[in-house]
Chain A
Amino acid sequence: MIRNTAKSLLLHLCLFVAAAFTLIPFLWMLSASFMKNGEATLFPPHFVPTHISFQQYAILFHELNMGRYFLNSTILALGVTGGSLLVNAMAGFAFAKFTFPGKRPVFTLLLTSMIIPGQITMLPVFLLLNKLGLLNTYWGIILPGLASIFGIFLIRQYVSTIPDSLLEAAYMDGGSSFLIFWKIIMPLAKPVLITLALFTFMGTWNDFLWPLIVMTKDSMYTLPVGLAGLLGEHAQDTELMMAGSVITIIPIILIFLFLQKYYVQGILVGSIKE
């Protein structure tokens, strides 16, 4: 009994230390963002602002385009998420519930392409978007993001578990495949759709390299790109950068808190081996 208490204490202690390691940077970021200029760079470090000041946030929104970056990030994340849900769900449904010539080879091709590093396509896609006049537009990010192999795979896994008998009954009643997809598959696949939506939203929100290349106009920057730009120009203004970081991560943390369950499910589905 005593041994168990000791064990439990030790275990909790270890985990609290580990949790401190992951949480301290966030707490420090939050704290520094409420400091006045120069307070964060004092030595020894100040962990708590002497006066809570919203000065940094005011600068971000009034003098630097933070509000606009926020809007861009939101539009892009929602656009990519909405579009890709539909496109991937359709393809996932086809792979799960139809037999058609070329199914196996196409599916294998998709699975093997999952390991092609995205950087290979950056240059040609950049030139292609340029030809189409889509650089510096939302479409430059949304269109290439419409289909994701991971998404198709995720949805196929889930839809396969929906019993055929359900669909057969609907076909008997003279329903078309499209009706079935919309009325039966989509509602039943809701959990996996939410999971995929979450993944896509976060992925788009946090993406850095691609928006950095596609968006050359300041008015089109996303939060991470805008933040990296500020970092180049305001490297000396630690507190300002911290405030920018806080704004960048708060939405994601909130979304995650509400939809944790689905996110974890997604990881689990994604990690089941074929």
Chain B
Amino acid sequence: MIPGLKRLIPIVILLTVPVVGCHSLSKQNKAVTFWAMGQEGKHLETLLVKFARLHPEIPVKIQRIPWSSAHEKLLTAFAGQSTPDICQLGNTWIAEFESMGALTPLDSFVLGSPVVRSSNFFSGIWQTNVIHKKLYGIPWYVDTRVLFYRKDLLAKVGYRNPPTTWREWAEVSKRIKRASPPNEGNFANYFPLAHNNPYVPVILIMENEGRFLKKNKCYGAFEDPNTVKALQFYVDFFKNGWAPKNMSRVSNIYQGFQAGFFSMFISGPWDINEIRERVPSLRNKWGTAPMPKGKKSVSVAGGASLVIFKSSKRKSEAWKVIEFLSRSETQTDFFKLTRDLPAVRKAWSDSSILSDPQIRAFREQLETVQPTPKLAEWEQIASKMQEYLEKVIYGRMTLKQAVIDLDRDVDRILEKRRWLLSQNLLPE
């Protein structure tokens, strides 16, 4: 044996053995892994203290994921077979993960459950979780988007109440813009232009009864006249200088809202808390209102559901956690922590929800919410739409051309779906 080689052997072994060793070790923890996003992740610990008392045998390990990269992270985790047991999933994503075969159907769990019954939940929201007649998620909280507005700034231009129709909305925007000093660069509204944040145009299309897709969701339908009209209305906000083109100018929307850089924006219930915490000086100066009406007042059926991944080894323990989170008293506690609106009807009777004036608009809006199309490619299609709208807003393209190009791109994105359907490789 060569003396030098002897010294090398342990090193080589050291380099190769732990590959196997450390991997098997990590499998031994018994905790239910739970991924949650943004502020829900922040407050989940507090919420689950009671659960730990009830079920000390089921430890729960929470991981927070930033919303901005949540979609990528989840897909990567799925491709890498490192998905958690339970996950908070935006209910627009459920179809996508279902089509990949990533989710566990929950019907059998619901059958035996004393807590989770479909009749306890808002039916429109429950339906967003049903795909091909199977249930894949339990609604956790509901949200939708409404108009946030500065009462004092609207009053300044003669509007005691928030705008209720598209026409009023445009009018009040015009007046605010006119009233602001020209070099201040103030705007009336703020709409995010980030490609992963397409909800404003989506809501406007719904309000105008426009279509996104046609023929069994196999082709784009953005050339639909109602859709084009809604998009025109949206684009005009930018063209008229009633909304800023550049996101970077509004690196902090709360400061912008406080400074009067814009007086109206469209967002979800989480921002009620954020505004209260970050800019307390605005107290009583702002309010929320249902979406101004197009053909009707509609908003998007948002919110998140709890899903169990197919690869989970602890499905029954995971279900216990979901059951706990679906109790009406837990839902009420959750609301107090996050201002996320309960998905369980009964929880709404709690006085803290009823008495909150800024929640009222959401309650009204929830009566008329619509889900976005349920298909795997939806995120990508919505992101494409934003991309083209941005071009129109910057004057690089007419809207007419944009929807033609958009439909062509959407058709291309859906080519795989058409093929899968034709080969019966997708259940539909």
Complex contact flag A–B (Cβ < 8 Å): yes
Could you tell me the distance in whole angstroms from the C-beta of A265 to the nearest C-beta in chain B?
Answer: 26
Given contacts A219-B63, A232-B67, A233-B38, contact A41 B252 (CB under 8 A): yes
What are 9 A-B pairs at a CB distance below 8 A? A130-B80, A135-B80, A135-B81, A136-B80, A139-B22, A216-B77, A217-B63, A229-B66, A230-B66
Question: What 8 A-B pairs come out closest when comparing CB atoms?
Answer: A178-B4, A232-B68, A179-B4, A233-B66, A232-B66, A135-B80, A176-B2, A216-B77
Which of B7-15, B285-293, B324-332 makes up part of the contact surface? Answer: B7-15
B69 adjacent to A83 (CB under 8 Å): no
Could you tell me the distance in whole angstroms from the C-beta of A188 to the nearest C-beta in chain B?
Answer: 15
Tell me which of B4, B19, B67 contacts A181 (CB under 8 A). B4
A130 adjacent to B4 (CB under 8 Å): no
User: How far is B79's CA from A216's CA once the two chains are assembled, in angstroms?
Assistant: 11
Q: Does B284 contact A (CB under 8 A)?
A: no
Q: B215-265: which residues lie under 8 A (CB-CB) from chain A? A: 251-255
User: How far is B253's CA from A110's CA once the two chains are assembled, in angstroms?
Assistant: 51
Please, which residues of chain B bring their CB within 8 A of the CB of A180?
4
A127's closest neighbor in chain B, by CB? B79
Q: B259-301: which residues lie under 8 A (CB-CB) from chain A? A: 278
Q: Does A47 contact B (CB under 8 A)?
A: no
Tell me which of B66, B76, B81, B82 contacts A213 (CB under 8 A). B76
Tell me which of A130, A175, A176 contacts B81 (CB under 8 A). A130
B5 adjacent to A176 (CB under 8 Å): yes
Tell me the count of chain B residues lying within 8 A, CB to CB, of chain A.
34
Q: Which secondary structure dominates chain A's binding surface?
A: helix
Interface residues of B (CB under 8 A from A): 2-5, 7-8, 11, 15, 18-19, 22-23, 26, 38, 63-69, 73, 76-77, 79-82, 251-255, 278
User: How far is B2's CA from A179's CA once the two chains are assembled, in angstroms?
Assistant: 8
Please, which residues of chain B bring their CB within 8 A of the CB of A136?
80, 82
B4 adjacent to A233 (CB under 8 Å): no
Given contacts A130-B79, A130-B81, A218-B64, contact A232 B69 (CB under 8 A): yes
Tell me which of A181, A182, A217 contacts B82 (CB under 8 A). A217
Please, which residues of chain B bring their CB within 8 A of the CB of A175?
4
A83 adjacent to B66 (CB under 8 Å): no
Q: Does A8 contact B (CB under 8 A)?
A: no
B70's closest neighbor in chain A, by CB? A232
Please, which residues of chain A bring their CB within 8 A of the CB of B76?
213, 216
Interface 1/0 per residue, A118-162 and B, CB below 8 Å: 000000001101101111111100010010000000000000000
Tell me which of B7, B22, B69, B73 contacts A182 (CB under 8 A). B7
A139 adjacent to B2 (CB under 8 Å): no
User: How far is B23's CA from A136's CA once the two chains are assembled, in angstroms?
Assistant: 10
A137 adjacent to B26 (CB under 8 Å): yes
Q: Does A235 contact B (CB under 8 A)?
A: yes
User: How far is B67's CA from A178's CA once the two chains are assembled, in angstroms?
Assistant: 53
Interface 1/0 per residue, A35-62 and B, CB below 8 Å: 0000001000000000000000000000
B78's closest neighbor in chain A, by CB? A216
Given contacts A83-B15, A139-B22, A178-B8, contact A236 B254 (CB under 8 A): yes
A130's closest neighbor in chain B, by CB? B80
User: How far is B254's CA from A233's CA once the two chains are assembled, in angstroms?
Assistant: 15
Given A229-B69, A236-B251, 9 other A-B residues pairs in contact with their CB atoms under 8 A: A134-B19, A135-B81, A143-B19, A178-B2, A179-B4, A229-B66, A230-B66, A232-B68, A236-B253
A134 adjacent to B23 (CB under 8 Å): yes
B27's closest neighbor in chain A, by CB? A133
B2's closest neighbor in chain A, by CB? A176
Q: Does A177 contact B (CB under 8 A)?
A: yes
Q: A154-206: which residues lie under 8 A (CB-CB) from chain B? A: 175-183
Given contacts A137-B23, A229-B66, A233-B68, contact A216 B4 (CB under 8 A): no
Could you tell me the distance in whole angstroms from the C-beta of B34 to the nearest C-beta in chain A?
Answer: 12
Could you tell me the distance in whole angstroms from the C-beta of A206 to the nearest C-beta in chain B?
Answer: 20
